[in-house]
Amino acid sequence: MVAALCWGGGYVVGAVGILTHQLWLLYLGYGVIGGCGLGMGYVSPVSTLIRWFPDRRGMATGMAIMGFGGGAMIGTPMKEFFIRMFYRAPEYLGTTADVNLVTEAGRRFAEIGGVLREVVVIGAAEVRDMTIPGPEGVYVVNTGASGVAETFLVIGLIYLAVMLIAAFSYRIPAEEWKPTGWQEPSETERGALISSHNVHIDEALKTKQFYQLWIVLCFNVTAGIGVLGVARTMITEIFGSSLPQIVDTTFAATYVVMISAFNMVGRFIWASASDYIGRRNTYWIFFLLGIVLYLSIPFSAQQVSASPSVVWLVYFYAATMIIFTMYGGGFATIPAYLADIFGTKYVGGIHGRLLTAWSTAGVLGPLAITSLRQNSVNNAINDLVKLIEPATFQAQFGAGIDQLETLVASNTVNISRLLEIAPAGTTDPTSSLYNSTMILMAALLAIALVSNALMRPVDAKHHLKEG
């Protein structure tokens, strides 16, 4: 119930922040309050289901976390629907030939009613990124409405109602309850890493196994969440210019929904499989296969840039979908892994503390991918500018190349606008923007692989004493 109030309420507070242009309110509402609701709402059903399914821990946690991952299948189309419903296009002034533009401190202005108003110039490559595509040309800044604030408010209220109903609907099993006909396996029947003993929450923090699992979860999630956060942008940037007839806004939106579907399916399939092949073996597959797939993405991006072909799009699509099944599977398998290592008595609390790895990954992943991407963008812009005549640059942007840094900071200059005036035959560098990111993600998975390989049973001194 508290999770529902925090999660739904966080959206509402975030909506107020967007409407009033107070960024701190968005951080407080959607970030802090909503984040608390997210964490509490995540752990409670998972720890409950482990108790209901002692014979199928992986399957049980996979079912719960499948719902968490599959939420985007509902949330993404719902978000898109409401944003389009509340969206109002910004004021359109005409083409660049119709409007007298002035550049000051890297920003573009146009005279409207005797007053200079800030504007933005939208080219052909950027029209497809608009919520509702409009004509190329000049648009007035701070006009129209994105529809995001209203969407936050409506979705927050919907989530609040649904979660409150669910919160009052589920129960926990009675003490010592077991499924009919199921007996606790003997020591010889258990795997080497499945313990019949329990470890207290505080004692778990004193074991090396807790920190090994922390690294396993953190780096697995860092690799996945970094790509997940920019998936729509990434597929558009890598394939949008080379295969524009296929990769448009509708294709990108469908791609996000498919990510959610494979993420969801992976959570159930991989977690259920771990009941049979073991948790450590499951993570062996995640990391070994993941390293290969992450390293293959730069290769496919290079190939599609050199020779546009649907084959490379299909390969990229398939590779990323497999990656997202393992990202979801890593989430779903970790609670069962914890129950195997530390016992079921305190698994909810231990899981909650281990999820600090998820929080850390939620910062590291997006930070790494955006920083490395921005560095690649800056390098690509500098390389393109070297190919363009200064007079051509001046005519296009109303300022000299000496003001490049300011023009880039204000988004007046970007790769797509430079390509419009670059010499014929210039290669679009957009497809290679994520190469360094993919290499870093593969390296993180290699570290997690080592941590998982070194996993051993908890020392008996940490076991909870009976009575």
Q: Taking each helix axis from N to C terminus, what angle separates 249-277 and 310-342, rounded to the nearest 10 degrees?
A: 40
| Burial tier of 458 (Cβ tally within 10 Å: 0-12, 13-18, 19+) | buried
Per-position DSSP letters for 403-434, written without gaps between them: GHHHHHHTTSS-HHHHHTTSPTTPPPGGGGTT
Residues 290 and 323 sit within 8 Å (Cβ to Cβ): yes
Count of other CB atoms within 10 angstroms of residue 23: 10
Mean pLDDT (10-residue bins), the chain, 467 residues:
96 95 95 92 81 83 79 83 91 89 88 88 80 88 91 96 92 83 65 77 93 94 81 80 77 82 87 88 94 89 78 88 90 88 85 89 84 88 90 88 87 86 84 86 94 91 79
The pLDDT value recorded for residue 368 is: 84
The pLDDT value recorded for residue 13 is: 97
Domain 195-387+426-467: CATH superfamily, name plus number: MFS general substrate transporter like domains (1.20.1250.20)
- 84-116 b/e (C-beta count within 10 Å ≥ 16 → b): eebbeebebbeebeebeeebeebbbbbeeeeee
Domain ranges of the chain: 1-87+148-169, 92-140, 195-387+426-467
Distance CA 15, CA 151 (A): 8
Distance CA 291, CA 441 (A): 8
3-state secondary structure of 115: strand
Cα-flanking dihedrals φ and ψ of residue 428, to 5°? -75, 120
The pLDDT value recorded for residue 252 is: 80
Distance CA 452, CA 284 (A): 7
CB under 8 Å to 228, separation ≥6 — which residues?
A: 259, 263, 324, 327, 365
The reported pTM is 0.72
Helices and strands (DSSP H and E) totals, the chain: 18, 5
Over residues 336-356, the pLDDT tens digits come to: 899 889 987 888 889 889 989
Distance CA 127, CA 335 (A): 44
The pLDDT value recorded for residue 371 is: 87
